[in-house]
Amino acid sequence: HFQAQVDCRTNQITGAEALLRWQHPEYGLLAPDQFVQILEESGMILEVGSRILDDACKIGGLLLSQGLVSKDRFLMGVNVSPRQFRQSDFVERVEHSLKQHHLPATMLKLEITEGIVIQNLDDTILKMRSLRDLGVGFAMDDFGTGYSSLTYLKRLPVDTLKIDQSFVQDATSDPNDAEIIRAIVAMAQSLNLHVIAEGVETPEQLAFLERVGCYNYQGYLFSEPLPGPEFETLLQLRRQLQASASIE
C-alpha cells in the first residue's frame, strides 16, 4: 500500500510512503504494528523488506514512465528494518532494485528508525554515506520518540525528519505535544532539514502544523494507504483535475 505525502501550501502530492499491510484470512487487513515484531523475530522481515523495497521501486518507476510523477518533485519512501539494514549487501540490494526498475536514486527516500542507528553506528554511517553518494535520501522516522535521536542527527546524512503521529494526534489539545512539534520544526529549519508530519487526521491538526511551519504531511485527512493500482488512479484523477482547472 502507498500513502500520499502532500504539501499543504499547494495541495500537491510530493511523495508516497510504501506501507506494509497483511490481508489475514481471519482478521482482515492488519497494520504493521500487529505483526512486524513476529516477522523480525522469525527472520522473515528480510524477505518481506526486500519485497517492499522492490515493489516500491517498481511502482515508482512505473509512475515515472507514465508521466504521473516528476523525478524532481516526487519521493518514494520505504521503511527499512534494523535486520534488513544490517545485511552486508544491503547497499547492493538497493542499487539493484533501483536499476532493475529504472527509478532514479534521487527519488528514493529510505526511512530509518533509531533502532537501526543504535545497533552499530559506524556501520550505519558507512552504508548511509554509500547510498547517499548514489543519490538516495534518508528520513529519520518516528522522530522524537527515541531517547537519543538528537545525538545522532549531527553524524547521520539524514535530510528529513518525520514527526511521529503520537505527537500529531493530541497536538491541538495537549500543550506538551504541541511544544514538542514546535521544537522539532524549529530544529529542522535550523539544520536545513525537511520535516513531514505523520498521522494527520483532522483539519485542526493540519491548521496547527501550518501555523508552526510544517507544511508536508501524510494521513487519513488526505488519503488512506492505497494499493498500487488505486494510488496510480489517485494520481491520474488529480492530474485530470489540474488540467481542467488550468483550462478554466
Helix ranges (H only) for 29-89 are 36-42, 45-65, 82-86
Threshold 0.75, pTM exceeds: yes
pLDDT given for residue 112 in this prediction: 93
CB atoms within 10 A of CB 8: 18
C-alpha cell at 220: 487519513
DSSP 139: E
Q: How far apart are CA 18 and CA 111, in angstroms?
A: 10
Q: Which homologous superfamily is 2-162+214-235 in?
A: EAL domain (3.20.20.450)
Residues 160 and 139: beta-carbon distance below 8 Å: yes
Classified as helix, coil or strand, 91 is helix
Average the pLDDT over each of 23-27, 132-136, 149-153, 172-176 and give the range with the smallest value.
23-27
DSSP per residue over 174-229, as a string?
Answer: -HHHHHHHHHHHHHHHHTT-EEEE----SHHHHHHHHHHT--EE-STTT---B-HH
Residue 108: burial class (beta carbons within 10 Å; 0-12, 13-18, 19+):
buried
DSSP 10: T
pLDDT tens digits for range 65-109 = 999 999 999 999 999 988 899 999 999 999 999 999 999 999 999
> What is the tally of helices (H) and strands (E) in the chain?
11, 10
Classified as helix, coil or strand, 76 is strand
pLDDT tens digits for range 30-61 = 566 655 676 777 777 788 889 999 999 999 99
Beta-ladder partners of 28: 24
Residues 198 and 168: beta-carbon distance below 8 Å: yes
Q: How far apart are CA 233 and CA 173, in angstroms?
A: 36
DSSP 104: -
pLDDT tens digits for range 197-233 = 999 999 999 999 999 999 999 999 999 999 999 999 9
